[in-house]
Amino acid sequence: MTETILVPTAAKKEEARKTPKKHLFLRLMRYVVKYWYVFVVSISMIVASGYLRTIPSQMTRLVLNALTPPVNLSNVSNILTTAVIAILGASMISSIMNFVQRYIQTYIAQKVVYDLRNNLFNALIQKSFSFYDRNRVGDIVSRLTSDADRVQMMSSMWVNEIASLVSQFAIWIVILVSINPSMTMLCMVCIPPILVLMSRYSKLSAPIFEGQRRIMSAINTFLQQNIIGTRIVRIFRQEDTEKGRFMRINDEFFSLQLRMVKIRAKYPGLNTMIMGLTTALIYWLGGRLIIQTHGTPMEFKWGDLTIFVQGMMSLMAPLRFVGMIVNNYNEAMAASARIFEVLDAEPDVKDKPDAVPLPPIKGEVVFENVSFGYDPNKPVLKNISLTVKQGETVAILGPTGSGKSTLLYLIPRFYDVTSGRITIDGYDVRDVQLKSLREQIGIALQDIFLFSATIKENIKYGRPDATDDMVIEAAKMAQIHDFISSLPEGYNTVIGERGITLSGGQKQRLTIARALLKDPRILIFDDTTSFVDTETEHRIQQAMEALLTGRTAFIVTQRVSTIKSASKIIVLQTGEIVESGTHEELLDQNGIYATIYKTQFMPREEILARRVEGGAK
Among 343-351, 401-409, 568-576, 581-589, which window interacts with Mg ion (CB under 5 A)?
401-409
* DSSP per residue, 524-552: EEE-------HHHHHHHHHHHHHHHTTSE
Given 218, 316, 333, 380, the residue binding ligand ADP (CB under 6 A): 380
CB of 572 vs Mg ion, minimal distance in Å: 10
Q: Which residues pair with 371 in a beta bridge?
A: 419
133 binds ligand ADP (CB under 6 A): yes
Select the binding partner of residue 278 from ligand ADP, Mg ion, none (C-beta < 5 to 8 A, by kind): none
Of 164 and 393, the one with the shorter C-beta distance to Mg ion is: 393
Range 594-617 burial, b when 16+ CB lie within 10 A, else e: eebbeeebeeeeeebeeeeeeeee
Q: Which of 183, 161, 106 minimizes the C-alpha distance to 320?
A: 161
Peptide bond into 70 cis (omega under 30): yes
574 binds Mg ion (CB under 5 A): no
CB of 471 vs ligand ADP, minimal distance in Å: 31
Amino acid at position 78, single letter:
N
CB of 402 vs Mg ion, minimal distance in Å: 9
325 neighbors 400 (Cβ within 8 angstroms): no
Binding mask 18-57 for ligand ADP (x = CB under 6 A): ----------------------------------------
CB of 255 vs Mg ion, minimal distance in Å: 43
- ∠ CA 15-7-157, rounded to 5°: 70
What three-state secondary structure class fits 495?
A: strand
Neighbours of 82 (CB within 10 A): 13
CA distance 42 to 50: 12
Among 22-30, 171-179, 400-408, 429-437, which window interacts with Mg ion (CB under 5 A)?
400-408
Select the binding partner of residue 442 from Mg ion, ligand ADP, none (C-beta < 5 to 8 A, by kind): none
CB of 374 vs Mg ion, minimal distance in Å: 13
Select the binding partner of residue 401 from ligand ADP, Mg ion, none (C-beta < 5 to 8 A, by kind): ligand ADP
CA distance 250 to 535: 50
Select the binding partner of residue 402 from Mg ion, ligand ADP, none (C-beta < 5 to 8 A, by kind): ligand ADP
Q: What order do you get walking across the sheet with 427-428 strand by strand?
A: 381-388, 365-372, 419-424, 427-428
405 binds Mg ion (CB under 5 A): yes
Of 323 and 412, the one with the shorter C-beta distance to ligand ADP is: 412
Select the binding partner of residue 133 from Mg ion, ligand ADP, none (C-beta < 5 to 8 A, by kind): ligand ADP
Select the binding partner of residue 398 from ligand ADP, Mg ion, none (C-beta < 5 to 8 A, by kind): ligand ADP
Considering CB under 5 A, how many residues would be counted as binding Mg ion? 1
Of 140 and 249, the one with the shorter C-beta distance to ligand ADP is: 140
CB of 374 vs ligand ADP, minimal distance in Å: 3
Interface residues for ligand ADP in 392-421 (CB under 6 A)?
398, 400-406
What three-state secondary structure class fits 53?
A: coil
Of 311 and 398, the one with the shorter C-beta distance to ligand ADP is: 398
Of 287 and 401, the one with the shorter C-beta distance to ligand ADP is: 401
Amino acid at position 369, single letter:
N
Please give the span between the terminal C-alpha atoms of the chain, in angstroms, as a whole number: 59
Of 400 and 501, the one with the shorter C-beta distance to ligand ADP is: 400
Select the binding partner of residue 380 from Mg ion, ligand ADP, none (C-beta < 5 to 8 A, by kind): ligand ADP
Contacts of 309 (CB under 8 A, 6+ apart): 279, 282, 283, 286
CA distance 348 to 233: 34
What three-state secondary structure class fits 368?
A: strand
362 neighbors 390 (Cβ within 8 angstroms): yes
Binding site residues, Mg ion, CB under 5 A:
405
Binding site residues, ligand ADP, CB under 6 A:
133, 374, 380, 398, 400-406
